Amino acid sequence: MESFERIRLKHGIPSWVEDGATYFITINAAARRTNQLARPATAEAIKQAIQVYTESSKWYPKLAVVMPDHLHLLVSLNTAQFSISQIISPWKSYLKKSQDIQWQEGFFEHRIRDRASLEGKEDYLRMNPVRADLVKIATDWPYTWSESEFQR
């Protein structure tokens, strides 16, 4: 039987991508199908950690959705000063230490290329709790935060 080796993504940014591009990022908890994140204290700590990174100009969130076993972010990243990994990895590490969140290694990122893609991802994120049968109406999910909830 063949062995499988996981491919590690480098999360590099091509030179032609402008600083401040918006990215769709997914970060998974290690224990899937277990509610590790969508608990009031943990979600509040995640929101505060997003805010700290906003205040330190590492990113500018447009939308964040915390699900029980993963989270999604639509953020503009300060890639003029930091690589994507230099932004995401320490953020995850801080939450692991402060909240004992066990994350899967790495993360998924996709650069948003146009307005239609941005709107599609925003809709996808907002409807995620509905598709997961956590709420009937997207606005009822308490762990969805928009850009206006984070101060620069």
Cβ–Cβ under 8 Å, residues 60 and 149: no
CATH, residue 33? 3.30.70.1290
pLDDT at 15 over 60: no
| Residues spanned by the domain of 42 | 22-114+128-145
For residue 122, tell me if it sits in a domain: no
Q: How many domains would you assign to the chain?
A: 1
Question: What single DSSP character describes residue 7?
Answer: P
**DSSP H helical ranges for the chain:** 40-55, 84-99, 115-131
Q: What gap in Å lies between CA 80 and CA 45, rounded to an integer?
A: 27
Whether residue 121 is predicted with pLDDT greater than 60 in this model: the reply is yes
Total Cβ atoms within 10 A of residue 6: 7
Residue 16 falls within a domain, yes or no?
A: no
Structural domain contains residue 101: yes
The partner residues of 26 in beta bridges, in order of sequence, read 72, 108
CA distance 109 to 21: 12
Strands 108-111 and 144-146: unpaired
Q: With contact defined as beta carbons under 8 Å apart, do 62 and 48 qualify? A: no
pLDDT, average across residues 42-67: 96
User: Is residue 99, in this structure, part of any structural domain at all?
Assistant: yes
For residue 133, is it within any domain?
yes
136 lies in some domain: yes
Query: Does any domain span residue 35?
Result: yes
How large is the angle between the packed helices 40-55 and 84-99, nearest 10 degrees?
Answer: 140
pLDDT of residue 7: 57
Name the pLDDT band for 4 (thresholds 50, 70, 90).
Answer: low
Q: Which pLDDT value is given to residue 16?
A: 39
Classify residue 140: in a domain, yes or no.
yes
